[in-house]
Chain A
């Protein structure tokens, strides 16, 4: 009797485990369509608290209007998002709809992970009648459109306006690097607040150089040295934020950016090199009473450096079992006024002109200011965006981050860092 019991128990356990395995593959991320015809779509994005809430509400609306379609929404911080997506790609369990960035688009398409949206656009499932051709083509790789832009965006320097007003400092648009550094020094002298700089690709564009070419570093060693000198001088002269600040925060999180997060001027920055669609999140993360202003990023030649950017995309992955339904969701996000009345251009200005006109009255003043900023400040004074970076660039980004850190800690001089970036970077990019 005892033996029979133990056998039965073992049997139950074994069956349970096998069933567990079976269930595991089913719920591994992509679509599952159960017998009663309901569809569940996994939808992922990176972002911030404002975006999480709005996206969730928009997906709820879709489920309401389309009974039988439910979502499994998943969000992560920028860094974790890409690790997670890469692992999912290896396990062939990519979510149905993924938020995609311009810098990663090329690698996901060249590895055959995204669905070509052209057929859906041709048969009208995704309506692009009111979308500018140039914006639509920003999601084009080779002959196919693999990702649908969900908003237009520009680099934007956000700054602590309250602080600068008190110090009597005014900021003008299209600052040159020299003017910017003068402001940094003035702010530091008057208030003690420091500065958080700078983006290498933006910096190099001023010299007609593209930092990450398809198989090499496109910047000259002189330009790189000038870039690292910014850090060297900033640390020596005291106005640059100490690198130790970044050891304590989640880098890339708007909520923990030194402009809004920190306890003393020593650990805070008066500005934040952000993008225009981060204004809303930065404002809601800012402490009570901090007014935030917006201008262009500094550059030796702003007209060459600045660009209009597809803020991000939505794409359908090859692991989706229900690309047709997913395409309908993309259409909904692109063309539904109701949906965009919830999203309110948080990701960027909606690409359908009809939608962006329809929701403009519901947009906050900030969002309307962003549109004005994009149209009147950046558009007339900018150049075409650089081509998407190749796969090897992610290691080169990391090399640059480490070199910047070493320069800030005084381990390397700007010239040494430039040489390393040039030599090792070229090795990395060559593969």
Chain B
């Protein structure tokens, strides 16, 4: 009898629902919300990581206004995100168009082009990248082969170092490409047939049919990639460490330095919250522009 009661309690829809989502709920609580709360508290503290935090109010936030390196890092991060993300999307779209035609080898190519995205954020690829762009690296050697003998220090030059990071980001176009690919497949072929009958060429078809119908996907990719771009860390930390002269100092890497190297962990936490606000604002702005260029009537 008792057993039955327990059984019927557990079989209730709501109970089953709660139990089934428990792992996820606990995960969010323990590993996201609680740490966020702690970080918010630290951001209001003088905290050197080695001894307990002391509450100081909003001083950390005020300090940012006088921190030149902070603004430098913001500048670098905006430059990186605003250039690498659109480039990556354009590239992803081009490759997706190329891979749209199905032949026997298409599957292989899709996998091959997706590969950099899986391994791209990893330490190993970053180290590889660093070696490739070294003075005696493969890039300079390849340039030598085509007749441009050079010992140019790509990573040591203030103008080029950031571009090596942007290039790495563009190379990781795989996940956007897959999303584009599936969206491209959803566009009804009848539209193209009709266009062809009306005499529209390939280029015109692309701009009048493909692109407008893809705008929701472009929007989605843009928002996701933009957020990722602002939060990039590994590439910079491994490849350039912000060198030369902070010209590649990503916001997140500066935050890391402040938190763990200079032992201004409270200031680092405050920086994290400012980043959250910045990313939030950018996302908001993107959403605000949505109605001007995103075609949402569906097909």
Q: List the interface of chain A (C-beta within 8 A of B).
A: 3-4, 6-7, 10-11, 13-14, 17-18, 21, 79, 82-83, 86-87, 89-90, 107-108, 111-113, 242-248, 263-264, 266-267, 391, 394-395, 398, 402, 405-406, 409, 411
When each residue 252-269 of chain B gets 1 if its CB lies under 8 Å from chain A and 0 otherwise, what string results? Answer: 000011001111110000
Can you pick out 16 interface pairs between chain A and chain B where the beta carbons lie within 8 Å of each other? A7-B11, A7-B20, A10-B23, A14-B26, A89-B50, A90-B49, A112-B51, A244-B155, A244-B157, A245-B153, A245-B156, A246-B243, A247-B161, A391-B48, A395-B262, A395-B263
State whether A11 touches B19 (Cβ < 8 A).
yes
Q: Is the interface of A mostly helix, strand, loop or mixed?
A: helix
Q: B244 contacts the other chain (Cβ, under 8 Å)?
A: yes
Beyond A79-B261, A108-B50, A395-B264, list 14 extra A-B contacts (CB 8 Å): A3-B16, A7-B16, A14-B23, A82-B261, A83-B261, A87-B260, A90-B49, A107-B263, A111-B51, A243-B156, A248-B135, A264-B151, A395-B263, A409-B245
Write out the residue numbers on chain A whose beta carbons fall within 8 Å of the beta carbon of B240.
247
Given A113-B50, A248-B134, answer yes or no on A398-B151 (Cβ-Cβ < 8 Å): no
Judge whether B23 and A242 touch: CB under 8 Å.
Answer: no
Select B261's contact among A90, A108, A247, A394, beta carbons within 8 Å.
Answer: A394
Q: Is B27 on the interface with A (CB-CB < 8 A)?
A: yes
**Which of B20, B130, B262 has a CB less than 8 Å from the CB of A248?**
B130
Partner of A86, one of B23, B49, B158: B49
Tell me the chain B residues, 189-204 only, with Cβ under 8 Å from chain A.
Answer: none
The answer for the CA separation of A411 and B244 in the assembled complex, in Å, is 11
- B161: chain A residues at CB < 8 Å are 247
Interface contact A10-B153, CB-CB below 8 Å: no
Query: Is B136 in contact with chain A by the CB < 8 A criterion?
Result: yes
**A409 and B158 contact, CB distance less than 8 A:** yes
With a CB–CB cut-off of 8 A, which chain B residues contact A111?
48, 50-51
Complex interface bits, B144-176 against A, C-beta within 8 A gives 1, otherwise 0: 000000010101111001000000000000000
Minimum Cβ distance to chain A for residue B82 (Å): 24
Residues of A within 8 A of B246 (CB): 402
From A7, A90, A242, A266, give the contact of B265 (CB < 8 A). A90
A398 to B262, CA, bound (A): 9
In the complex, how many angstroms separate the beta carbon of A26 from the nearest chain B beta carbon? 16
Q: Report how far A243 CA is from B247 CA in the complex, Å.
A: 14
Interface size on B, residues (CB 8 A): 38
B28 neighbours in A (Cβ, 8 Å): none
Shortest beta-carbon distance from B59 to chain A in Å: 12
By beta carbon, the residue of chain B nearest A244 is B156
A212 and B19 CA atoms in complex are apart in Å by 58
Q: Is the CB of A87 within 8 A of B156?
A: no
Tell me which of B11, B27, B244 contacts A409 (CB under 8 A): B244
Of the candidates A6, A111, A411, the one having the most CB atoms from chain B within 10 angstroms of its own CB is A111
Shortest CB-to-CB span from A373 to chain B, Å, is: 33
CB of B10 within 8 Å of the partner chain: yes
How far, in whole Å, are A387 and B112 apart by their CA atoms in the complex?
57
In this complex, which of B50, B240, B245, B260 has the most chain A Cβ atoms within 10 angstroms of its Cβ?
A: B50
Chain B residues with CB under 8 Å of A6's CB are 16, 20
Return B127 CB to nearest CB of chain A, in Å: 10
Which 10 residue pairs across A and B have the least CB separation, nearest first?
Answer: A244-B156, A244-B153, A111-B50, A263-B136, A395-B262, A247-B156, A247-B155, A111-B51, A83-B260, A10-B20
Minimum distance in angstroms from B37 CB to a CB of chain A: 16
Q: Is the CB of B243 within 8 A of A398?
A: no
Inter-chain contacts of B155 with A (CB < 8 A):
244, 247-248
- Chain A residue nearest in CB terms to B69: A402
Q: Which of chain B's residues 85-132 have a Cβ closer than 8 Å to chain A?
A: 130
A263: which B residues are within 8 A, CB to CB?
Answer: 135-136
Q: Which residues of B contact A7 (CB under 8 A)?
A: 10-11, 16, 19-20
Answer yes or no: B209 CB below 8 A from chain A CBs: no
Closest to B18 in A: A10
Partner of B23, one of A13, A108, A247: A13
CB distance from B280 to the nearest CB of A (A): 27
Q: Is the CB of B26 within 8 A of A17?
A: yes
Decide: A14 near B262, CB < 8 A? Known: A3-B11, A243-B244: no
**Chain A residues within 8 Å of B30, by CB:** 21
Selected contact of A10 from candidates B22, B245, B256, B264, CB within 8 Å: B22
Segment 219-262 of B: residues with Cβ below 8 Å from A: 240, 243-246, 256-257, 260-262
Question: Which residues 9-60 of B sit at the A interface, judged by CB distance below 8 A?
Answer: 10-11, 16, 19-20, 22-23, 26-27, 30, 48-51
Complex interface: chain B residues within 8 A of A242 (CB): 153, 156
Closest partner residue, chain B, to A401 (CB atom): B243
Q: Which residues of A sit under 8 angstroms from B260, Cβ to Cβ?
A: 82-83, 86-87
Q: Which residues of B contact A17 (CB under 8 A)?
A: 23, 26-27
